[in-house]
Structure 1
């Protein structure tokens, strides 16, 4: 069985409200009695707490789901530096691979009826020299929710 509901939440840039929208979607689905999981496949910026690395967005999403899953499945790339993901990954000696994210997504989707996937940074943030978050959204095959700031030119 795999998730029948899913969305990829992205934004025009960082700190635009992706996590608020993602958490709201997760919360609404859970309140409707739907078994919902959430992913933030790439998270840049983590702090060590109680012997484990934590990212605020990842923790907020995890607090809303009713299908809790291991963080290494929901966030396969938890990067310590709060920098562009491809730069943070390079500094840590990690290569972000969309194929690995897709494998994790399939496993998460098999455990839930709905999966909300939150992107990182803006919609075209590089994940490697050849792929970005738009490529990830396309390969996941999920409808995209674009979070846009309310300012001149954003229609």
Structure 2
């Protein structure tokens, strides 16, 4: 078995990638698909008796298929809550994309769908000359863009979509309403982006649980072969 793959990136850090990735996993579970979340690299991890743990990766583990270990979901973890390549430099442990490849291959061998959550935005570096975008595009991964509807979102979204299209990775976008949006213009931002990019695959309300958002996801879209 070799699973389909969907990547999830964002217009910025903290825009709701994990919530959307978990919604995809919850929808897959409801559709009877064996699905796994994958957070290849995570920074901002806490020390535990079992090693470094990241809250986003733990959420993906919780919403994914049973029987997976934390390490299967997040093979590369760093404590500082900074850009992954900077955390790797500080730890003296360069990010080996071969480790990320192996982790993805292992999940694809066990699942029907793998949801891969990036770190930060599309062009976050993994090293001196490699970005997360290079790794995702190298796997032929269709990527869903999560747009946090806050000031600056339109520019960030349009620039990111241009880059995704050039890489051949664009597969749609999600409108995520953020608690911190206090401009009162979220609906206008969503309408502007919908006119430019098409209707969002999903619109997530403020603080909406992933399983609730998952009820509005089209099962047919999830079942399309990808990657």
TM class by shorter chain equals over 0.9
Task: Report the equivalent of 2:163.
Answer: none
8 Å Cα contact 1:44-1:83 kept in structure 2: yes
SS in 2 for 1:120: strand
8 Å Cα contact 1:26-1:36 kept in structure 2: yes
- Distance in 2 (CA, whole Å) between partners of 1:68 and 1:96 is 26
Task: Report the equivalent of 2:93.
Answer: 94
Q: Does 1:84 align with 2:83?
A: yes
- Distance in 2 (CA, whole Å) between partners of 1:81 and 1:15 is 16
- Distance in 1 (CA, whole Å) between partners of 2:60 and 2:93 is 24
- Distance in 1 (CA, whole Å) between partners of 2:40 and 2:110 is 16
Aligned length: 154
- Distance in 2 (CA, whole Å) between partners of 1:63 and 1:39 is 12
- Distance in 2 (CA, whole Å) between partners of 1:29 and 1:51 is 29
- Distance in 2 (CA, whole Å) between partners of 1:38 and 1:105 is 10
Task: Within 5 Å, give how 1:55-134 maps onto structure 2.
Answer: 55-134=54-133
| Structure showing greater relative contact order (alpha-carbon pairs closer than 8 Å, 6 or more residues apart) | 1
Residues 98-129 of structure 1: per-residue CA shift (max 9 Å, x gap): 22211210111001111000000111001000
- What stretches of structure 1 of length at least 5 have no aligned partner? none
8 Å Cα contact 1:67-1:111 kept in structure 2: no
Task: Report the equivalent of 1:2.
Answer: 2
SS in 1 for 2:9: strand
The structure number with the bigger radius of gyration is 2
- What stretches of structure 2 of length at least 5 have no aligned partner? 158-192, 194-227
Residues 54-96 of structure 1: per-residue CA shift (max 9 Å, x gap): 1110111111012432222321111111000000011111111
- Distance in 1 (CA, whole Å) between partners of 2:103 and 2:5 is 14
8 Å Cα contact 2:85-2:125 kept in structure 1: yes
Task: Report the equivalent of 1:37.
Answer: 36
Q: Over aligned residue pairs, what C-alpha RMSD do you find? A: 1.4
8 Å Cα contact 1:26-1:64 kept in structure 2: yes
Q: Give, in angstroms, the shift of residue 50 of structure 1.
A: 4.1
8 Å Cα contact 1:36-1:67 kept in structure 2: no
Given the two structures, how large is their TM-score scaled by the length of structure 1? Answer: 0.93
Given the two structures, how large is their TM-score scaled by the length of structure 2? Answer: 0.65
- Distance in 2 (CA, whole Å) between partners of 1:19 and 1:25 is 10
